[in-house]
Structure 1
Amino acid sequence: MDEFGPEGLDLERELAVFLRRARATSGEMAREVHPDLEPAAYGLLVRLEDAGPQRATELAAYFGVGKATMSRQLGALDRLGLIARTPDPADGRASLVELTSEGHERFTRVRDARRSRYARKLAAWDRQEIADLARLLHRLNEVSAADE
């Protein structure tokens, strides 16, 4: 970060605070979906809602985690009745993971409440600032994914 000067230190500090708060918020949202849901598994629900049915290997690659970690997290979601596995029509040996109707309902309720909180927090921002933040975070996520 030194090559960015003091701005790099500011960025590092602000990202550290943001990530710490995001982890805490993910834990709260996970518990709102189901009291036994691990915070890390909440992101899986987000991805499944956004992208639709996925293979476990696709999810592991998307999140940059190993197959064993993904298998453990999916197993927990399955036991809670939040996801289901169906045969992959493109390859009968593989399965697709998708939200169950209960998983979709629980996730949607929590996501909508989260979006309302964001709307309140960002009420003083103009739409262009919000769009810029989303664009820059997307760019950072793309660069981060390319490094893995």
Structure 2
Amino acid sequence: MDQQLPETVREVEHELTALLRRGRALSWEIAREVHPNLEPNTYGLLLWLRRCGSVRLTELAARLGIGKGTLSRQIHGLETLGLVRRDPDPTDRRAAQLSLTEEGIRRFDAARAARLGPILRTLESWPKQDVADFARLLHRFNETF
């Protein structure tokens, strides 16, 4: 089967595999720096919460592509660590808005800044248009995959 794939598709698979491997390692490092008891798969969750500011659990589950039960368990763990809080949703009393606590923001930002240095240094050496194209193409791939 592998020989039937176009060479460019095999190259994309190879590069995606390398990117995902590095991404998992980076997520693991950042998660451990945020809190020693933090699971590495919660990095993406923290990143979305940092980006959104405040979001409903159902919306976050849809964005992350995970079940509400799984997300709820992860959120509970983050609440226990003092990194995430639930506030009443002003538009729906049955729902809650999730957000990072002040401590969660402080820890996440510090850990992320320390670990993103190599990525920033790499992208700084690229022409700005290449960085913009890279971001646009990654977004396009993720949106349509």
- Scaled by the length of structure 1, the TM-score of the pair is 0.91
Q: Counterpart amino acid of 2:133? A: D
- Contact 2:31–2:40 (CA under 8 A) maintained in structure 1: yes
Q: Counterpart amino acid of 1:26? A: S
- Contact 1:86–1:95 (CA under 8 A) maintained in structure 2: yes
Per-residue displacement from partner, 1:72-118 (whole Å, max 9, x unpaired)?
11111111100000000010111011010000111111222233321
Identify the structure with bigger relative contact order (alpha carbons < 8 Å, sequence gap 6+): 2
TM alignment of 1:47-126, pairs within 5 A: 47-126=48-127
Distance in 2 of aligned mates of 1:74 and 1:3: 44
Query: Does 2:36 align with 1:35?
Result: yes
Structure 1 unpaired stretches of 5+: none
- Contact 1:2–1:9 (CA under 8 A) maintained in structure 2: no
From the superposition, tell whether residues 3 and 128 of structure 1 become closer, same or farther in structure 2 (CA, over 3 Å): farther
Which structure 1 residue ranges, 4+ long, deviate > 3 Å from structure 2? Answer: 1-4
Q: Which SS does the other structure have where 2:36 is aligned?
A: coil
Could you tell me how far 1:3 is from its partner in structure 2? 8.2
Per-residue displacement from partner, 1:6-27 (whole Å, max 9, x unpaired)?
1001001110111111111100
- Scaled by the length of structure 2, the TM-score of the pair is 0.92
Q: Percent identity?
A: 50
Q: Which SS does the other structure have where 2:116 is aligned?
A: helix
Q: Which residue of the partner structure matches residue 8 of structure 2?
A: 7
